[in-house]
């Protein structure tokens, strides 16, 4: 495991996620969105956990119209999913008894399944829409079959901007805590069936900053110097890792040294 600030590519991934979470909620509408988490309790590798998730989707995911999934590595080494999904029914987030839910969670953490815990659970359950209550009951039976562990399904209490920041925070946390054994695992997944209808930002973009502008100018000058017409030509002439190999020169060379 290694720690460190996100790289430029990882910062792009976080921006890409935040922008598309906002677009997802705007497209499907907040009262038709559901947020849930899945925690691995079987010590699975993320690749295996993803296979279980995909099996669950195929057999029991008809209620999910679309989704965004974010993988977070927990510090004990287990994969954890944060999933934003769209559903057909109205989740009525503003009518939900959030205070009872939070108090119920505190009671469980501090004292366990006490009579007060059961009272608070019944209280917030009474304010949940019937479709959500039915989903809670169904998932308690279904999820263990796929080794997906503990889950929590809730309406969206916050706005799309706040949810985007929340998910972006977990993505960035997962990027800072990098497990070498997780290399190549997909950290963010958009539902391929419907993403064309709501995605607002692709991963192919550059920052509009002074440093990025300087980079583009120098790459253009480099192309002129070596007789390259485009990036493909640069790859062909200098090799596939040219940007990594001469990055420091492009970024830090003085104007005189650069042109020399």
Q: What is the pLDDT of residues 134-179, one digit of tens each?
A: 999 999 899 888 888 778 888 988 877 777 777 766 656 555 555 5
Query: Mind listing the pLDDT tens digit for each residue in 92-138?
Result: 999 999 999 999 999 999 999 999 999 999 999 999 999 999 999 99
CB 64 within 8 A of CB 87: yes
Q: Identify whether the C-beta of residue 79 lies closer than 8 Å to the C-beta of residue 44.
A: yes
Domains and CATH numbers, the chain: 8-92+129-197 (3.30.70), 210-259 (no CATH)
Supply the pTM of this predicted model: 0.76
CA angle 118, 121, 127 (to 5 degrees): 145
Asked if residues 23 and 142 have their Cβ atoms less than 8 Å apart, the reply is no
What pLDDT, on a 0 to 100 scale, did the predictor assign at position 3? 47
């Amino acid at each position: 495991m290694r720690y460190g600030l996100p790289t430029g590519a990882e910062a792009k991934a976080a921006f890409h996620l935040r922008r598309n979470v906002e677009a997802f909620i705007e497209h499907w509408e907040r009262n038709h969105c559901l947020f849930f988490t899945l925690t691995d309790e079987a010590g699975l590798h993320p690749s295996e956990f993803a296979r279980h998730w995909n099996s669950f989707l195929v057999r029991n995911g008809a209620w999910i119209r679309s989704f965004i999934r974010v993988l977070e590595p927990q510090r004990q080494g287990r994969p954890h999913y944060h999933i934003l999904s769209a559903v057909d029914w109205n989740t009525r987030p503003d009518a939900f008894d959030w205070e009872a839910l939070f108090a119920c969670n505190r009671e469980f953490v501090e004292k366990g399944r006490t009579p007060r815990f059961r009272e608070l659970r019944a209280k917030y359950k009474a304010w949940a829409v019937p479709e959500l209550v039915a989903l809670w009951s169904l998932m308690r039976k279904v999820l263990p079959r796929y080794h997906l562990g503990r889950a929590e399904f809730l309406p969206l209490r916050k706005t799309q901007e706040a949810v985007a920041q929340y998910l972006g925070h977990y993505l960035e946390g997962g990027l800072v805590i990098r497990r070498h054994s997780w290399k190549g695992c997909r950290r963010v997944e958009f539902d391929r069936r419907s993403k064309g209808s709501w995605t607002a930002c692709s991963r192919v973009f550059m920052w509009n900053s002074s440093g990025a502008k300087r980079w583009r100018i120098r790459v253009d000058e480099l192309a002129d110097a070596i007789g390259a017409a485009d990036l493909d030509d640069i790859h062909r002439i200098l090799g596939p890792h040219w940007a990594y190999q001469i990055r420091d020169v492009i970024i830090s060379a003085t104007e005189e040294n650069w042109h020399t």
